[in-house]
Amino acid sequence: MSSRRSLASALTAIAMAANFKLLLCLFSLFPIFTPISTNQYHPLNPLTPAEINQVRTIVKQAQPSSLHNLTFQYVGLDEPDKSIILSWLSNQPTKNPPRRAFVIARSDLKTHEIIVDLSTNSIISDKIYHGDGYPLLTFEEQTAANKLPLTYAPFIASISKRGLKVEEVVCGSFTVGWYGEKKRTKRIIKVMCYYLDGTVNLYMRPIEAVTVTVDLDQMKIIGFLDRLTVVVPKADGTDYRRSEQMPPYGPQLKGIRVVQPEGPSFTIDGHTVRWADWIFHLAFDMRAGSIISLASIYDVDKGEYRRVLYKGFVSELFVPYMDLTEEWYYRTFFDAGEYGFGLCAVPLEPLKDCPENAVFMDGYFTGQDGTPGKTSNVFCVFERYAGDVMWRHTEGGIPGKVIRKVRPEVSLVARMVSTVGNYDYIVDWEFNQCGTIKVTVGLTGLLEVRGSNYTHKDQIQEEVYGTLLAENTLGAYHDHFLNFHLDLDIDGDANSFVMTNLQMTRVTDNRSPRKSYWTVVSETAKTESDAKIKLSSKAFELLVVNPSKKTKVGNHVGYRLIPGSVAGPLMMDNDYPQIRGAFTKYNVWVTPYSKSEKWAGGLNTDQSQGDDNLAVWSLRNRKIENKDIVLWYTLGFHHVPYQEDFPVMPTVSAGFELRPANFFEYNPVLKDRPAKVVR
């Protein structure tokens, strides 16, 4: 797992101007003010192409003087307040809540945070941001930046000096982070390049140690360094296209399919998905990617839907590399805040990215000029059946009877893939019949490798910060930390966070021949500092409970977080990347709900100095007991590359679960009915 920002989609070469995302955008122009079909209206629906165009018009009209350099860095739904959403939900179909957009735009070297009201065609507020850090990079500015070296004489000279052809060079944009500079006045990126020469696996062919620094707002080169000459790896046989493979080949399997002769068991109405006892809303955002909202589960005994997850999404994805060389030390990327985890989402391929029983949905983002772009098939929704067992038991203990009951496990998955440069992140939100929500992140794609003159490990006498994967190819050590914003509302807003320790206890009296056992000791977090948790081998359970609701026998209703990773950062607290990615310091945080606290790495993440993020917000140490609270969980991966990560990296997965914990009186699987299977 590594991540090459470089925005695959924004890489460019001399010959060609527009990349495919731009092309998509051009084909996706929609008429302004298309009426929205009422029966699909939902206040959490993402902005439609028509609405994106409407936003553009409103913003442009309000700033006519600066139109020449106005750029849209982010456009998304500005959600109505939670209370309004909940009231709307409980009281459909009265008047709809106001429909607003949140825009981050750049104009005259300033970042504007603008709220647009679509109902009244007006701007509610336009605030210039004076703090540190910059908004998401656009595809278009990366594309433009990536082209600059290819006509820049010193760069061309460097390429020629290496005996390479400039027409085979493609480049990518790398965010630069922050390393203690007091004042950063320019939006800069570094552009690094690769040598194609016949391959599509460009990441295996870095032109190492040649760096171009670009001022994004001026869109010009402000720095160039050809530090040393490193061999471009030959990378023979690393092109992953089947047409490029040479014998001997690997095995060929016979076909395997998942079929549903009667069709799927779920329905999608607009963005609302219903399956088994679950209902939830699935939306696309150009920063977060998939957003799950209002996930509720029907309780058959109570005869009502019960609230579980008000909202869940990937809040940030921090990818620090551990290579200190000049071209690598700054690679400490924030994939959501710098590149847009949603913006980098790619169309899913039917039958391959998702099984044949999947249903697809499109997503819309906003281009730099404010026009909508479409990512087809950005989500797939499907029932997952892997041949596993949800519950079973064979009872042989009753004389004269053999009882065997088996209920196969079928779940519902909502999938998105975000390709941030070399890395492909597969994000699955999975709902099951027992009430569990499982999130799985698969990391695949290609490694980000460093060119090196070494061809054998025995030659290496210095620290190389990685594994020699092949001749001239080092796989750099790095991490991936995905932070999930999980606004659980268990049976209502007012919840508490309970930590249950499994505590070894000595038996000091004579009550038992045993000398020891473990018992549980529960503690409710009062304030934010109580809930900052570094996961360890210490055994404990983490719950969000509703302190006002109990089961019949008196247990607080709740949901558990079952973490899938205990990985934390291996950097010093006062190191610059760690200050910016401080949300990784604890695996778990709990904050009181605040509409403005969405992004664990801060709103304006690029070149940020870490003064507006989860770690800072929670320094206020607010009360979190019996409040509307948000759970933040960081899923971490340390990646020491092995040769098996080369030249393609098979999927490595990890995840977490939100599992009901005394939420139901008994397990709902008891009362499900068997699927009728047509054969």
**Residue 260 neighbours by CB distance under 10 Å:** 16
What lies within 8 Å, CB to CB, of 84 at 6+ separation is 43, 97
Among 649, 655, 656, 658, binds its own copies (CB under 8 A): 649
Nearest distance in Å: CB 201, its own copies = 8
Cβ atoms 374, 60 nearer than 8 A: no
List binders of its own copies among 166-185 (CB under 8 A). Answer: 170, 172, 179-180
Task: Give the H or E element holding residue 539.
Answer: none
**Residue 226 neighbours by CB distance under 10 Å:** 17
Look up tokens 């679950």; give the residue: 278
Among 523, 570, 619, 623, binds its own copies (CB under 8 A): 570
Q: Which of 356, 377, 352, 385 is nearest to 276 (CA)?
A: 385
Residue 205 or 281 having the CB closest to its own copies = 205
List binders of its own copies among 330-359 (CB under 8 A). Answer: 330, 346-347, 349, 351-355, 357-358
- Per DSSP, the three-state class of 99 is coil
Return the half-sphere exposure (C-beta side, CA atoms, 13 A cut-off) of residue 550: 4
Residue 114 or 136 having the CB closest to its own copies = 136
Residue 58 or 490 having the CB closest to its own copies = 490
Task: Give the H or E element holding residue 360.
Answer: strand 359-366
Asked if 317 is part of the footprint of its own copies (rule: CB under 8 A), the reply reads no
Asked if 304 is part of the footprint of its own copies (rule: CB under 8 A), the reply reads no
Among 36, 123, 148, 196, binds its own copies (CB under 8 A): 196
List binders of its own copies among 586-605 (CB under 8 A). Answer: none
> How far, in Å, CA of 471 to CA of 494, rounded?
58
List binders of its own copies among 601-630 (CB under 8 A). Answer: none
What is the dihedral sign for C-alpha 173, 174, 175, 178? negative
Asked if 64 is part of the footprint of its own copies (rule: CB under 8 A), the reply reads no
List binders of its own copies among 65-104 (CB under 8 A). Answer: none
335 is catalytic: yes
Look up tokens 């990560």; give the residue: 645
Residue 17 or 26 having the CB closest to its own copies = 17
Residue 44 or 468 having the CB closest to its own copies = 468
Cβ atoms 450, 208 nearer than 8 A: yes
Q: Which of 405, 416, 326, 428 is nearest to 376 (CA)?
A: 416
The CA–CA distances, whole Å, from 330 to 358, 419, 624 equal 40, 21, 36
Asked if 435 is part of the footprint of its own copies (rule: CB under 8 A), the reply reads yes
Beta strands in 63-109 (DSSP E): 71-78, 100-107
The CA–CA distances, whole Å, from 47 to 116, 226, 341 equal 12, 45, 17
Task: Give the H or E element holding residue 580.
Answer: helix 576-580
List binders of its own copies among 242-301 (CB under 8 A). Answer: 242, 245, 248-265, 276-277, 298, 300-301
> How far, in Å, CA of 159 to CA of 223, rounded?
16
Residue 315 or 440 having the CB closest to its own copies = 440
Asked if 17 is part of the footprint of its own copies (rule: CB under 8 A), the reply reads yes
List binders of its own copies among 502-531 (CB under 8 A). Answer: 502-504, 506-507, 511-520
Asked if 554 is part of the footprint of its own copies (rule: CB under 8 A), the reply reads yes
Interface region with its own copies, contact rule CB under 8 A, candidates 66-74, 459-467, 590-598, 602-610: 459-467
List binders of its own copies among 371-400 (CB under 8 A). Answer: 382-400
Nearest distance in Å: CB 109, its own copies = 25
Asked if 424 is part of the footprint of its own copies (rule: CB under 8 A), the reply reads yes
Query: Which member of 217, 277, 323, 335 is catalytic?
Result: 335
Q: How do 122-129 and 110-117 pair as beta strands?
A: antiparallel
Asked if 498 is part of the footprint of its own copies (rule: CB under 8 A), the reply reads no
Nearest distance in Å: CB 84, its own copies = 30
> How far, in Å, CA of 534 to CA of 599, rounded?
20
Among 3, 9, 158, 366, binds its own copies (CB under 8 A): 9
Among 137, 169, 482, 535, binds its own copies (CB under 8 A): 535
Interface region with its own copies, contact rule CB under 8 A, candidates 44-52, 93-101, 316-324, 364-372: 316-324
Among 185, 241, 304, 461, binds its own copies (CB under 8 A): 241
- Per DSSP, the three-state class of 614 is helix
Among 470, 525, 545, 561, binds its own copies (CB under 8 A): 470
| DSSP assignment string, 502-534 | EEEEE--SSS-S-SEEEEEEEEE--BGGGG-B-
Query: Which member of 195, 339, 423, 477 is catalytic?
Result: 423
Residue 100 or 415 having the CB closest to its own copies = 415
Q: Which of 173, 101, 110 is nearest to 141 (CA)?
A: 173
> How far, in Å, CA of 205 to CA of 199, rounded?
9
What the block records as the tokens of 39 is 């029966």
- Per DSSP, the three-state class of 160 is helix
> How far, in Å, CA of 148 to CA of 152, rounded?
6
Among 34, 121, 536, 594, binds its own copies (CB under 8 A): 536
Among 95, 130, 182, 404, binds its own copies (CB under 8 A): 404
Asked if 675 is part of the footprint of its own copies (rule: CB under 8 A), the reply reads yes
Nearest distance in Å: CB 167, its own copies = 11
Asked if 12 is part of the footprint of its own copies (rule: CB under 8 A), the reply reads yes
Residue 27 or 666 having the CB closest to its own copies = 666
Interface region with its own copies, contact rule CB under 8 A, candidates 68-76, 363-371, 428-436, 604-612: 428-436
**Single-letter amino acid, residue 76:** G
Asked if 462 is part of the footprint of its own copies (rule: CB under 8 A), the reply reads no
| DSSP assignment string, 637-655 | EEE---GGGSSSEEEEEEE
Residue 64 or 674 having the CB closest to its own copies = 674
**Residue 479 neighbours by CB distance under 10 Å:** 24
Q: Which of 226, 65, 238 is nearest to 158 (CA)?
A: 226
Among 333, 364, 586, 664, binds its own copies (CB under 8 A): 664
Nearest distance in Å: CB 163, its own copies = 21
Q: Report CA Rg, the chain.
A: 26
Q: Which of 642, 676, 202 is nearest to 466 (CA)?
A: 642
Q: Which of 342, 347, 341, 344 is nearest to 361 (CA)?
A: 347
Nearest distance in Å: CB 582, its own copies = 14
Asked if 16 is part of the footprint of its own copies (rule: CB under 8 A), the reply reads yes
Interface region with its own copies, contact rule CB under 8 A, candidates 37-45, 60-68, 222-230, 641-649: 641-649
Asked if 195 is part of the footprint of its own copies (rule: CB under 8 A), the reply reads no
Number of residues that bind its own copies (CB under 8 A): 195
Interface region with its own copies, contact rule CB under 8 A, candidates 307-315, 568-576, 588-596, 609-617: 568-576
Nearest distance in Å: CB 402, its own copies = 4
Return the half-sphere exposure (C-beta side, CA atoms, 13 A cut-off) of residue 349: 2
Catalytic residues: 335, 423
